[in-house]
Structure 1
Amino acid sequence: MSDSFYLKPDTFCPIVLMGRGGKSICKSFLEAVFSDQIIVNKRLDRHLTSKEEIEKLLNLAKQENRPVLFDISSHLGAELTELAELINPKIIIITNIDSNHKIYNGKRIPYFELIREFLNSIKSDSILVLNKDDDLISSLTEGMRPMQLVKFGLNIRSDFFAAQIQQLGPQGISFKLNDSVSMTVPIYQFYQIYGILAALVVCRIFNIKLKTISERIEESFTVPRGKGNLVRIGNISIINDTHTNNEQSVTHAAQTLITFKNYSNRMIMVIDEMDMDTQDKKSLHLSMGHFLAALPIDVIITVGKHARYITDGIRIIPNDERIILNTDDVTEAVMNLLLIIEANDCILLKSGRNSGLTQFIKILAEKYKP
């Protein structure tokens, strides 16, 4: 990285974080590394943050010579241009776009075009941190005014790339940064590595040494609660993935559970009804059952009427050793789980944020209380 990119951590520097995934991991990583040196705003949402609040944070950061990070929601629409002019960021991080449009409350948002408008509205010389593996993001800068670009990803042509990646179950994920520096980070879902790489770029822009980064991550970094964080209670591991429950997130979570196979007695998955835009709930859940049937999961507990179709899909591959339970609600699911749990089991809790499934963690913690 060029020396011209280096900033001091005690520098006023507005940073904007955009994208459809990986933002929470990126924020948590930066908070752990920068500690009290960085001001991190909640997600910028039309219902949460006013122009006055943004200006207040900018003024505070300027007075105290601190970086300030704004997480911008993807559904703000035309307000993005106004935010670009107000914040005038020095660093813009775009984790991914994934699709040309985003569905939000049943409406299609032309997110790709809005990001381009946002970038074109920025007046200052900015550093643009991009995910090289996302095809849409790679084409984002075509026809735009020149910016300093730093690209991250798994592609070895990225400025920052992860190589020799290993998923180590409860130990997290290890990789070699630019195929030279070994790092182990307590994340458990493979795709979260993109949020880590994005954060590493920012840390290096501020000239924070990799040794310092590793030490601070070991001391204080954790995956945000409900977004695939690991909870250890006694000798039982719980993957708490109770934030979103769409088809893609269920697939990622199930694949994560499998990485604990060599470190656990049994792998148990508790899955609530999936979030869906389609009216064909039966086909969606059947299809997920077909996918899960091929995975070496020992116990599967479904929650809710539509989730029962998951078990119908699982039974397409006979497995006499696998335990499958259908439950009507979370309370019944938790009671069954408490009855069958054994030492050294690894449990994946998979649901949306309002399911109440995390009550299992509280009950188990009380049971194993010293």
Structure 2
Amino acid sequence: MNLWLSEIAKAINGELRNFSSDVLVKNFSINSKNIGKDTLFIPLKGSRFDGHDFVKEALQNGAISFISQKDFEDIKVPYIKVQDSLLALQSLACYARRKLNDLKVVGVTGSVGKTSTKEYIFNVLSRKYKAFKNQGNFNNHIGLPISILNMPDDTQVAVFEMGMSNFGEISKLSQIAKPDIGIITNIGVAHIENLKSRYNIFLAKSEIQDGMPESGILIINSDNDILNLHKKELKRKVVTIGIENESNFRAQNVQRHQNGFSFEVGGYTYFIESFNFHDIYNSLFAIAVGTILEVDRQLVKEAIRQKERLKRRFEVIKKGSITVVDDTYNASTHSMLSAIDSICEFEGKKILVLGDMLELGEFSEEEHRKVGRYILQKPIDVVICTGKDAIYIFDEAKKKEGSRAYFVSKDECLDVLKREVTSNSTILFKASRGVKLDEVVDEFLKER
């Protein structure tokens, strides 16, 4: 977005220093090394680093100005003095959003599936509109505002993923982005350590309504027990998607094919190139958004067929006759069970390499045991558990007759895999990101 420096100062109630003539800012960055043409550097003070220590580096790399909560008497370029640079960033993003009166915004939150849902929606909307999405992990109180500021001026529709770990965080993001359409993918147990119950997680995710207009539309997954039970508490018009329960956009006649799933919605057939059953739900959100924003049905069908391949999110990698499924980006109980379901559809020997699910607090043992008990019902041949609380998965899974269960260190996982992997094996790797199970995946692939 293009903004004049004087305009920025007024929007954030800042004081212009060393100002003689106005400059047009076209880009915004919080990283002193990532400075493009006509960039305003916004240094943030964190627990480990202070961005103000890198102001001179940002200027050397081409920044034309900066915002600062510190005085810089030895710097002669114009800059804006503020009380708090983080609040200034968020205030500026609010101002930029208000300027874009015709912009339609879709906000996506939920316990799992946010990124995949965002990608499907972006694919659909890009077929008709000049669309924008926040990248990677830019889904928090810092990433979302900087994404809005770097959005092209001609953007017609934006899709923003919104993450949280506690009350008030989604509300802040919603009031900045002001979504016209809000999406809650599901309510699981991610962040239950902080929020103590799934109902509280529902309340925290429901804060997405706080920045929505009264005419806004909220799309929810009616197959999710908590959302279905409490949907009458929501304050905006509710549209539902689902497979099992009656929904406005319901997938029926679901068929698994060699390279994905086909299903019918409202009498029309759709196909997604994905091995992950949960992507049906993610694509249903995109079908619903496309319908609401009047994207031609044929364009929607083409757009959801294949989303961008997301690294370490149920990423299927073929190595000769062996299939590796790298789902190590993150894990919760819901996503664990969903991934196990999907693996059961693969042919041949099925091996699970599972690590801890983090941030479960006092609920951790029971949630890990729940995964182990679930495995007992499934045609899984080998379970390899690693970590601290993954021992509870092992403790349940070892009860399964005819299968083998191991509890080993992360370093020992490869030794067990060498013994257990045979031709036509499928191996699922899944754990929370902090476990760093991706390192085992990389080592395993390196040796194949």
Structure 2 partner of 1:344: 424
SS of 2:160 mapped into structure 1 = strand
Residue of 303, 311, 325 corresponding to 2:386? 303
Distance verdict in 2 for CA 1:230–1:123, change over 3 Å: same
> What does 1:212-231 align with in structure 2 at a 5 Å threshold?
212-218=299-305, 220-222=306-308, 224-231=310-317
Distance verdict in 2 for CA 1:356–1:122, change over 3 Å: closer
Q: Check conservation: 1:28, 1:223, Cα contact below 8 A.
A: no
SS of 2:223 mapped into structure 1 = coil
Residue of 85, 105, 111 corresponding to 1:14? 105
Residue of 141, 145, 149 corresponding to 1:46? 141
Residue of 278, 298, 313 corresponding to 2:396? 313
Distance verdict in 2 for CA 1:45–1:76, change over 3 Å: farther
Distance verdict in 2 for CA 1:224–1:111, change over 3 Å: same
SS of 1:301 mapped into structure 2 = strand
Structure 2 partner of 1:253: 339
Who wins on radius of gyration, i.e. which is larger? 2
Structure 2 partner of 1:89: 179
Structure 2 partner of 1:37: 130
Cα distance in 1 between the residues matched to 2:225 and 2:297: 29
Structure 2 partner of 1:23: 114
Cα distance in 1 between the residues matched to 2:312 and 2:244: 29
Distance verdict in 2 for CA 1:79–1:364, change over 3 Å: closer
Structure 2 partner of 1:71: 161
> What does 1:130-209 align with in structure 2 at a 5 Å threshold?
130-134=220-224, 136-137=226-227, 139-140=230-231, 144=235, 149-154=238-243, 157-168=246-257, 171-178=259-266, 180-209=267-296
Q: Which amino acid aligns with 1:342?
A: T
SS of 2:117 mapped into structure 1 = helix
Cα distance in 1 between the residues matched to 2:225 and 2:372: 30
Q: Check conservation: 1:84, 1:121, Cα contact below 8 A.
A: yes
Aligned residue pair count = 340
Distance verdict in 2 for CA 1:339–1:46, change over 3 Å: same
SS of 2:294 mapped into structure 1 = coil
TM-score by length of 1: 0.76
Distance verdict in 2 for CA 1:95–1:226, change over 3 Å: same
SS of 1:64 mapped into structure 2 = coil
Query: Identity percentage over the alignment?
Result: 23
Q: Which amino acid aligns with 2:123?
A: A
Cα distance in 2 between the residues matched to 1:271 and 1:183: 32
Cα distance in 2 between the residues matched to 1:279 and 1:135: 19
Q: Check conservation: 1:44, 1:70, Cα contact below 8 A.
A: yes
Instruction: Tell me how far 1:246 sits from its aligned partner.
Output: 3.9
SS of 1:354 mapped into structure 2 = helix
Distance verdict in 2 for CA 1:153–1:247, change over 3 Å: closer
Residue of 274, 278, 284 corresponding to 2:362? 278
TM-score by length of 2: 0.64
Distance verdict in 2 for CA 1:34–1:335, change over 3 Å: farther
Q: Check conservation: 1:258, 1:296, Cα contact below 8 A.
A: yes
Instruction: Tell me how far 1:266 sits from its aligned partner.
Output: 1.0
Which one scores higher on RCO, CA 8 angstroms, separation ≥ 6?
A: 1
Q: Check conservation: 2:354, 2:384, Cα contact below 8 A.
A: yes
Distance verdict in 2 for CA 1:324–1:166, change over 3 Å: same
What stretches of structure 1 of length at least 5 have no aligned partner? 1-10
SS of 1:20 mapped into structure 2 = coil
Cα distance in 1 between the residues matched to 2:176 and 2:244: 34
Instruction: Tell me how far 1:93 sits from its aligned partner.
Output: 2.0
